Amino acid sequence: MKYSPKYFRDNMPAWKRKKDPIISRILYRPLSFLTASLCANLKISANAVSYFSILIAIGGCALFFFDNFACNLAGAILINVWLWSDCTDGNLARSVKKQAFGEFADSISSYILVGLLGISLGVCVYRNGGVLVAPATLWILLLGVFASEGDTLMRLIYQKYKSVERELVDKGVLNAENDVRTNKENVGSLRVRIEAELGIGGILPMLILFGTIFGFLDIVVIYCAVYYCGSCIAMTMLYIFKAIKKAKEVSMSEEAERQLTESE
């Protein structure tokens, strides 16, 4: 066997080990070494795994729309399989071959999953009820929508800020800024740890599984709404303040340049 599970375990960089959520270190990452080995020896690329995980995400969310416990349980299992596959494509990209548009393939899989997840869980709880709510409780359905929309809006705001910032950097108006979300040196920061542990890459898939089995999906929906809407609000305020600060810096720089020009 050219690529063994040990090969992927040994080639996993230290910064990634540190960034992985606790539950991934214990469960999903060790399993992903096995599937990465299988995929690599079958010449299945990282991008192919990422694109296939989109189908897993859609299928997992769709199964929560059925009024059937077995379907709901299968959906919860698929959400966890999605995280397993997400770890797998990362192993392949880092240790075998990184492909063009790999980041795109990996990102849209999680975008689609979270974009559908809150709504699908909300529909399931609206139909079946839970620990805190009775069936046909409208506000739990709305919370599911808010959870999905909160994550989507947060990503749009972040991407738009980075797009505008990149344009200004390319024009020489701004200096490039260290991004705490992507810089490998910042994987231990509180912000990165919170995002890793509490979101879809951390504890959430397991919460969905146990919530489905033991009937507390309503609590999971509330958790998703609080986490994703709260993150959206915090992210929006953060990047508004950053944009205001950067705009003032640019204005001050332009004024200083103008005065220097006039003095000459």
pLDDT, tens digit (0-9, with 9 covering 90-100), for 40-65: 999 999 999 999 999 999 999 999 99
CATH of the domain at 119: 1.20.120.1760
Domain count, the chain: 1
pLDDT of residue 1: 61
Confidence of residue 264 (pLDDT cuts 50, 70, 90): low
Confidence of residue 255 (pLDDT cuts 50, 70, 90): low
User: What burial class does residue 71 get, using C-beta atoms within 10 Å of its C-beta: 0-12 exposed, 13-18 middle, 19+ buried?
Assistant: middle
CA-CA-CA-CA torsion sign (86, 92, 94, 100): negative
Element (H, E) at 159: helix 138-170
Distance CA 182, CA 15 (A): 11
Averaged confidence pLDDT in the chain? 89
pLDDT digits (tens, 9 = 90+) for 95-136: 898 888 988 998 999 999 999 999 999 999 999 999 999 999
The residue type found at 170 is D
pLDDT of residue 225: 97
Distance CA 241, CA 250 (A): 14
pLDDT digits (tens, 9 = 90+) for 69-97: 999 999 999 999 999 999 999 999 998 98
Confidence of residue 186 (pLDDT cuts 50, 70, 90): low
Q: 168 is in which domain, residue-wise?
A: 5-263
Is the separation of the CB atoms in 147 and 113 below 8 Å?
A: no
pLDDT of residue 260: 46
In this structure, the dihedral spanned by the alpha carbons of residues 235, 239, 242 and 244, taken in order and rounded to 10 degrees, is -130
Distance CA 187, CA 133 (A): 38
DSSP state of 84: H
